[in-house]
């Protein structure tokens, strides 16, 4: 335990020195991130993996784990902005996802949208850490903080709904990092005056012709020709203007979207009201009914207004509806359903894994995370 605490304190000290260096040399750091994007991504992934094994290892380990996780997420958000700027300066075009095309359009068109979306992401990355800190001052104060955080998030989403002219919200509201980090590294060195060695030109790299300066794309793998050709085919969504990738919501659809945004706040209020009776089904039923009703209103609006009904949805709208459908499954880990049904089921699984090689380790990790599901609200939040 003492060794774990020593390692934790050493990590905190190292992070403090790193942050100090970043603040005093932003240009150097930006250059480092853009030229070593692959290594930066590996470091981020490694730190996230570390947070999966810290819980339960020493006293207040969940607070240390969440502090690291929140810090990595916020740092990744900053890295995304740096890499987006670097990729925007690269010559040539690259195909982006509909989600990135849509969110990039609004972040560039509306500085207010970008600021509110960044605030929303930052709150989501730190919400569990805030709840852990609030819990130290008692359950009543913790629930007040939970309701406050959910209210801030809902207010941000309502502003985004208005700024996009009543178009459904996407998760996340900012562009995601989808370009291979190596693509941000190679073009940076392409114009340094150094010629690419002939031996490396055939290894999945573009070749720049010395006289004209034009780039010849690398040949695809012979076993993956079909995927390569499909990636070059333009679909109907690829030629639509970015804001046309989502239809506006009206009437029932707008009511459904507002209910979807307000559901976490109303559910948190209900949990606060019956916080002394965790097995009470009323908060769970209220929250699930609101989310299911909001989904049905949205689908009914699309069926009535769009030509072809649900078949007239864009690919981006189908993806978002699919995400929301999967998020309903998290109700098995919330409230009375978890207390009355899921918890006993998890206990039976972890008990059956004890004493078995490798499986015992998995069971131990599940037991460590069960503490978070038992004691905190935000680990199972999906918005």
DSSP characters for 58-86? STTHHHHHHHHHHHHHHHHHHHHHHHHHH
CB–CB of 153/123 below 8 Å?
Answer: yes
On whether residue 369 sits in a domain, the answer given is yes
pLDDT digits (tens, 9 = 90+) for 92-151: 556 788 998 999 999 999 999 999 999 999 999 999 999 999 999 999 999 999 999 999
Task: Report, as an integer, the average pLDDT of 76-89.
Answer: 79
Q: Which residue has the higher pLDDT, 362 or 103?
A: 103
CB–CB of 316/323 below 8 Å?
Answer: no
Domain count, the chain: 1
Residue 188: the pLDDT is: 43
Give me 333's structure tokens. 């880990």
List phi, psi (to 5°) of 68: -65, -45
pLDDT > 70 in the chain, percent: 71
Residue 350: the pLDDT is: 83
Residue 112: the pLDDT is: 96
d(CA 117, CA 99): 14
**Whole-model pTM over 0.85:** no
On whether residue 375 sits in a domain, the answer given is yes
Q: Which residues pair with 216 in a beta bridge?
A: 207
Domain ranges, residue 143: 9-179+240-380
On whether residue 46 sits in a domain, the answer given is yes
Mean pLDDT of all residues in the chain? 79
Report whether pLDDT(15) > 60. Answer: no
On whether residue 198 sits in a domain, the answer given is no
Look-up: residue for tokens 């981020």? 44
pLDDT digits (tens, 9 = 90+) for 145-204: 999 999 999 999 999 999 999 999 999 999 887 665 445 445 444 434 444 444 444 444
pLDDT digits (tens, 9 = 90+) for 229-286: 655 566 666 677 888 889 999 899 999 999 999 999 999 999 999 999 999 999 999 9
Report whether pLDDT(320) > 70. Answer: yes
Alpha-carbon dihedral sign for residues 11, 12, 15, 17: negative
DSSP characters for 133-191? HHHTT-HHHHHHHHHHHHHHHHHHHHHHHHHTTSPPP-SSSS----S-HHHHHHHHHHT
pLDDT bracket for residue 328 (50, 70, 90): very high
Residue 210: the pLDDT is: 63
Residue 194: the pLDDT is: 42
On whether residue 226 sits in a domain, the answer given is no
- Greatest pairwise CA separation for the chain in angstroms: 76
On whether residue 194 sits in a domain, the answer given is no
List phi, psi (to 5°) of 207: -110, 125
Highest mean pLDDT among 42-46, 190-194, 239-243, 326-330: 326-330
On whether residue 14 sits in a domain, the answer given is yes
On whether residue 209 sits in a domain, the answer given is no
Least-confidence region, from 212-226, 261-275, 315-329, 364-378: 212-226
Residue 41: the pLDDT is: 75
């Amino acid at each position: 335990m003492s060794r774990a605490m020593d390692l934790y304190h050493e990590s905190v000290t190292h992070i403090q020195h790193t942050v100090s260096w970043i603040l005093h040399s932003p240009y150097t750091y930006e250059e480092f991130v853009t030229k070593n994007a692959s290594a930066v991504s590996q470091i981020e992934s490694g730190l996230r993996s570390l947070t999966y094994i810290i819980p339960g290892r020493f006293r207040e380990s969940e607070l240390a784990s969440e502090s690291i996780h929140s810090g990595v997420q916020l740092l990744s958000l900053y890295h995304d902005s740096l890499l987006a700027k670097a990729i925007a300066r690269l010559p040539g075009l690259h195909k982006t996802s509909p989600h990135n095309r849509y969110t990039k359009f609004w972040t560039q068109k509306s500085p207010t949208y970008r600021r509110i979306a960044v605030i929303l992401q930052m709150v989501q990355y730190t919400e569990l850490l805030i709840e852990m800190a609030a819990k130290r001052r008692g359950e009543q104060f913790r629930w007040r903080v939970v309701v406050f955080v959910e209210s801030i998030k809902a207010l941000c989403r309502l502003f985004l709904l208005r700024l996009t002219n009543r178009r459904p919200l996407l998760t996340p509201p900012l562009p995601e990092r989808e370009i291979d980090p190596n693509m941000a590294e190679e073009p940076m060195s392409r114009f340094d005056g150094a010629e690419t060695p002939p031996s490396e030109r055939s290894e999945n790299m573009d070749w720049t012709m010395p006289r004209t300066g034009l780039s010849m794309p690398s040949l695809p793998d012979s076993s993956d020709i079909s995927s390569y050709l499909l990636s070059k085919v333009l679909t109907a969504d690829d030629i639509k203007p970015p804001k046309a990738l989502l239809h506006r919501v009206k009437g029932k659809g707008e009511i459904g979207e507002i209910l979807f945004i307000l559901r976490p706040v109303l559910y948190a209020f209900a949990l606060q009201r019956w916080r002394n009776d965790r097995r009470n089904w009323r908060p769970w039923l209220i929250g699930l009914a609101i989310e299911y009703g909001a989904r049905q209103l949205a689908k009914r609006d699309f069926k009535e207004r769009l030509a072809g009904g649900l078949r007239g949805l864009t690919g981006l709208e189908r993806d978002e509806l699919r995400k929301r459908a999967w998020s309903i499954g998290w109700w098995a880990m919330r409230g009375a359903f978890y207390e009355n049904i899921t918890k006993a089921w998890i206990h039976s699984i972890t008990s059956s894994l004890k004493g078995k090689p490798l499986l015992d380790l998995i069971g131990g990790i599940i037991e460590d995370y069960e503490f978070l599901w038992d004691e905190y609200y935000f680990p199972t939040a999906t918005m």
